[in-house]
Amino acid sequence: MEKGEKIIDAYELNVNDIVVDVSITSREEEPVPLYKISITNISDTTKIILEKIRDEFVAEETKTLSEEASVYDIQEQFKAKILKLLAKYFPNADKKTMDMLINYILQQNIGLGNLDILLKDTNLEEIVINSAREPVWVYHRRYGWLKTNVLVPSESRIRHYSTIIGRDVGKEITILNPLMDAHLKTGDRVNATLSPISSKGNTITIRKFAVKPWTITDFIKEKTISYEGAALVWLAVQNELSIIVAGGTASGKTSMLNVISNFFPPNQRIISMEDTRELMLPGILHWVPMETRLPNPEGKGGIEMLDLIVNALRMRPDRVVVGEIRRRKEAEVLFEAMHTGHSVYGTLHANNVRETINRLTNPPIDLPKQLLSALSLVVVQHINRRTGKRRTLQIAEVLPNGDARLLMQLNPLKDTLEVVNEPLAIVETLSLYTGLSKQDIYADIRSKINILRWLVGKNVTDVNKLGLIMSKYYHNKPFMNVKGG
């Protein structure tokens, strides 16, 4: 601790037996809190010896590696040789210590260095390198943007990290191709740029893949959505009504899509399509996930979202889940699928309900407004960038003429999702196809609220446990839906 520094939070990470202390502190002269890591079970003296081993061995050996070798291949190739050198310098070390020292050498010199430590912190959503001249930044789930004590030593090291990330997934970043989208084998999304395209220096942005997917229980506990809002979404999903989740960047659209999938019944076939795998559905579901693919350097082999959507509709899906709707042709095929009896769930970049309708009915998507009647609900997610809190901003139903009617709206002063109108189109649709009266529908919503309260009370946040509970719910309750069930 430095003078004038206050601890906000502290916890410990274990990264391949390397013990790392994390502290989040604030200082008056710093505009944002500081995120500090410190390796506690390797002494400074040991680090000096490990540096000597690296100089003696790793730098020389690296010259002999083929360009195609992946990080994993390199590490496996080096382990046995490093072990011999470690035995020379640490003759009395046991196997666990040896393994830990090997991991440290590999991480610092062949992997992504201290970025590997940051990647293991499940509290982080984003890891950002802006240049070698400033520290790495991270976005923390609880504290927002933080400046770290991690520095990348040079621009060439940043470029090296980009190269090895790309190599593992068949991508390349060069002066001629200075922009790269890729992903780590853990599913984390990576974007890299090279100077002078990014004028301050080379950059890497890593959007971390959520190891534990968000569930409806998490959303309610975090006050992201209310019990009433969650019950309405559940009612729509159970009865096969199509939903679009809208919102700005990092507002929680994909997380809400994952939450919606908590309510899928186990006796239906689900096909999901994403640019990068982020959805994690309960294991008991009949689920086929698919991913797009960029073309190779010769421009061949690319698979676009439209290709997947058209193909998915030939796979007899009951539910179609789309990571993001961007283009007119994709939207046309999806809305046609809704009209022919498929339930569709997808995300769209738009900040509110009005913008969502405008985006769908104006270029580049440009759908006829009458086509929107196949959509039942629009759920809008919002992030307060000052506090980092994500909330459901609005829930609206879509009327037969394609207009949206607001049902729930966030009151930012009270931080509550408030009912502003009773549903009309949804009640009418459910009454027509299921025979349920308005009173029956409202009784069902109240019943769902009670079940959601029980889930929160029991802290059921595991996606697979939640899937089993939903399976029992649908097994015990006659399943009626608006598509002829």
CATH at 29? 3.30.450.380
Going by C-alpha positions, the residue among 408, 414, 445 that lies closest to residue 430 is 445
* Pairing between β-strand 319-322 and β-strand 269-274 as defined by DSSP bridges: parallel
Strand partners of residue 390:
383
| 148/336 Cα distance (integer angstroms) | 49
Tokens 């193909």, residue located:
311
Q: Give the tens place of pLDDT for each residue, 156-192.
A: 999 999 998 988 877 889 999 999 988 888 888 899 9
> Which segments of 222-327 does DSSP mark as H helices, in order?
227-238, 253-260, 305-312
3-state SS assignment for residue 243:
strand
Judge if 249 and 369 occupy the same domain: yes
Q: Is 19 contained in some domain?
A: yes
Q: Is 457 contained in some domain?
A: yes
Judge if 257 and 155 occupy the same domain: no
Confidence (pLDDT) at 379 = 98
Question: What would the two tokens of residue 227 be?
Answer: 């019990």
Total structural domains within the chain: 2
Judge if 201 and 277 occupy the same domain: no
Give the H/E segment covering residue 72.
helix 71-89
Judge if 202 and 238 occupy the same domain: no
Burial class (CB within 10 angstroms; exposed 0-12, middle 13-18, buried 19+) of 91:
exposed
- Cβ atoms of residues 328 and 367 within 8 Å: yes
Side chain identity, residue 240: E
pTM: 0.82
Write 315-318 long-range contacts (CB < 8 A, 24+): 315/269, 315/271, 315/288, 316/269, 317/269, 317/270, 317/271, 317/342, 318/240, 318/268, 318/269, 318/270, 318/342, 318/343
Sign of the four-CA dihedral 157, 162, 166, 168:
positive
Domain boundary among 207, 226, 247: 207
3-state SS assignment for residue 476:
helix
Q: Is 248 contained in some domain?
A: yes
Judge if 262 and 388 occupy the same domain: yes
Judge if 228 and 371 occupy the same domain: yes
Judge if 124 and 161 occupy the same domain: yes
Q: Is 484 contained in some domain?
A: no
Judge if 201 and 233 occupy the same domain: no
> Which segments of 152-195 does DSSP mark as H helices, in order?
155-168
Confidence (pLDDT) at 108 = 76
Judge if 273 and 178 occupy the same domain: no
Q: Is 306 contained in some domain?
A: yes
Question: What would the two tokens of residue 245 be?
Answer: 């989740």
Confidence (pLDDT) at 106 = 76
Confidence (pLDDT) at 139 = 94
Confidence (pLDDT) at 485 = 38
Confidence (pLDDT) at 402 = 95
Domain boundary among 207, 242, 273: 207
Q: Is 437 contained in some domain?
A: yes
Question: Which domain covers residue 19, as residue numbers?
Answer: 5-207
Q: Is 481 contained in some domain?
A: no
Judge if 148 and 236 occupy the same domain: no
Q: Which residues of the chain have pLDDT under 70?
A: 1-2, 57-77, 109, 478-485
Q: What is the CATH number of the domain that holds 278?
A: 3.40.50.300
Burial class (CB within 10 angstroms; exposed 0-12, middle 13-18, buried 19+) of 247:
buried
Give the H/E segment covering residue 291.
strand 286-291
Q: Is 483 contained in some domain?
A: no
Sign of the four-CA dihedral 292, 379, 344, 288:
positive
Percent of residues, the chain, with pLDDT higher than 90: 67
Judge if 143 and 267 occupy the same domain: no
Instruction: State yes or no: cis peptide before 213, omega within 30 of 0.
Output: no
| 66/246 Cα distance (integer angstroms) | 45
User: What DSSP string runs through 347-396?
Assistant: EEE-SSHHHHHHHHHSTTT---GGGGGG--EEEEEEE-TTT--EEEEEEE
Confidence (pLDDT) at 357 = 97
Domain boundary among 150, 175, 207: 207
Judge if 287 and 187 occupy the same domain: no
